[in-house]
Amino acid sequence: MYSKQQQVRNLALISLVLIAISPTLIAFLYFNLGNIHVLKSTLNNIDSEHLTLAQGLFDRAEQYAPSLSRVHYWRGQAYFLAGQQQNALDAWRVFPDADYWLTMRGKYLLRQGQVEPAIDILRTALAVNPASSTICYYGGLALYRAEQYDKALEWHSKALELEQFDERFMDSSPRGDVWWPARPDNLTHDPTPAMTYIQISAVYYQLKQWDMMQAAAQAAIDLAPDDPLGYFQLGWAYFRWANADSSDLEDKAEFYRLAEKSLVTVVDQIPDHQYPFFLVLARVYAERENIPAATVAYQRVLNVSGRVGYQYEVARFYAATGQAQAALPLYEAILSRTPHEAEFGQRWIDAAEAYFVTSKQDVACTLFKEGVDICGETGCNVQDSILWSVCPVR
């Protein structure tokens, strides 16, 4: 049991502590109330009344605790929402981590599909810290998703020129997203010079500049030779370059060879869920007439992805390479999920030919007639089909 004297001393000590910390507690109260008004404004389509109240509350918070630096960030947020750009910048420049918080906000907006707001906030972040390669990297991603490809290239090029990538954004957690050359899983990869080149290659993919896509992918490999994504981009660049109208037969053969060389370099490192890699590899093998290898790669795609478009591609490959029996179950699944619309009519024609090759003429003719009806006058390869003279359609 405490003596009465000890109790008095304890009460006095507690009183002194409360007196000392009460201004901070009051500051946090005002600060949190200001945040509530900023959030209410966001939910109510930028309510100026809430923003004005927030500014007053932030002023009171700063009076009680001048060292509460987060006030500056939220004050800047209120100014930004109110359209007072210069005031927002002035407030954010006082807050040491404003560029980081703003960039994280831009990433969040991108994940939510709010591209234009993300571009606005990232432009502001760059005004706060114009030396940041990381902000330029994410700004380039946002502009890419807005299909402003020339501006995206400018931002990514600036990121490389500045050479100031922020370690606060580095994260070594495992990546589970699916790759695709036109749009790498850029929001889960660390912003680095190599990933910047990867994204530049994605921009050139959209611009159909295959030589520039190849050069950017090679630059990424030179910087990060252990990252399979660079080889994926490089192989896809060569594949698309081979299929370009300007490529002659000799160039095509060489580009297909280089595509295979790039993809095979890392094939053993690729988990099955990265099925776009195996789809590209299968296409390269098919063009180089390596049917067994293409079959294996296509099967890895089917093991993971049930997309109708991929199933159709594989079914056509099977049918074209003497594996019609393997194509039939795919065509059954494809036709059961395909709308009866003219743009898809060719699928019935192709399925009919696969059934005909396997000596199932009745089923083949039924599907052929249905395909003719669906195609109408759209130009499906009906007249060229082997079934045109076999199956009466009128």
Helix, coil or strand: residue 283: helix
Class of domain 1-96: mainly alpha
Q: Which of 38-47, 214-223, 235-244, 355-364 has the lowest mean pLDDT?
A: 38-47
Q: Check: CB of residue 387 under 8 Å from CB of residue 356.
A: yes
| Low-confidence winner among 41-45, 88-92, 105-109 (lowest mean pLDDT) | 41-45
pLDDT at 4 over 60: no
Q: What is the pLDDT of residues 307-350, one digit of tens each?
A: 999 999 999 999 999 999 999 999 999 999 999 988 888 999 99
Query: Domain extents for the chain?
Result: 1-96
Tokens for 28?
A: 């946090």
Contacts of 193 by beta carbon, 8 Å cutoff, 6+ apart: 133, 159, 160, 163, 165, 223
Kindly state the DSSP code that residue 185 receives in the 8-state scheme: -
Mean pLDDT, to the nearest integer, of 367-375?
89
Residue 244's Cβ-side half-sphere holds a number of Cα atoms within 13 Å equal to: 18
Instruction: Name the residue among 376, 363, 377 with its Cα closest to residue 390.
Output: 363
Average pLDDT, the chain: 84
| 170 DSSP assignment | -
State the DSSP string of 310-352. Answer: HHHHHHHHHHHTT-HHHHHHHHHHHHHTS-S-GGGTHHHHHHH
Give me the pLDDT at residue 18, please: 45
Does residue 144 surpass a pLDDT of 90? yes
Say whether pLDDT at 78 is over 80: no
CB atoms inside a 10 Å sphere around CB 127: 17
Measure the CA–CA gap between 34 and 229, rounded to whole angstroms: 45
Is the pLDDT score of 33 beyond 50? Answer: yes
Structure tokens of 383? 């007249």
Which of these ranges, 51-65, 161-175, 233-247, 269-283, has the smallest mean pLDDT?
A: 51-65
Of 3-12, 21-30, 37-46, 271-280, the range with the lowest mean pLDDT is: 3-12
Per-residue pLDDT, 8: 46
**Do 100 and 165 contact (CB within 8 A), yes or no?**
no
Q: In this predicted structure, what is the pLDDT of residue 100? A: 87
Q: Do 297 and 285 form a contact (C-beta atoms < 8 A)?
A: yes
Residue 285: per-residue pLDDT: 97
Torsion of CA 38, 42, 47, 51, to 10 degrees: 20
Work out the burial of residue 27: count CB atoms within 10 Å of its CB; fewer than 13 is exposed, 13-18 middle, 19 or more buried: buried
- Counting every residue written for the chain, the total comes to 394
Task: Quote the CA–CA distance of 321 and 115 in Å, as a whole number.
Answer: 44
Lowest mean pLDDT among 7-16, 227-236, 239-248: 7-16
Residue with tokens 């594989």: 314
Per-residue pLDDT at 19 exceeds 60: no
pLDDT at 71: 74
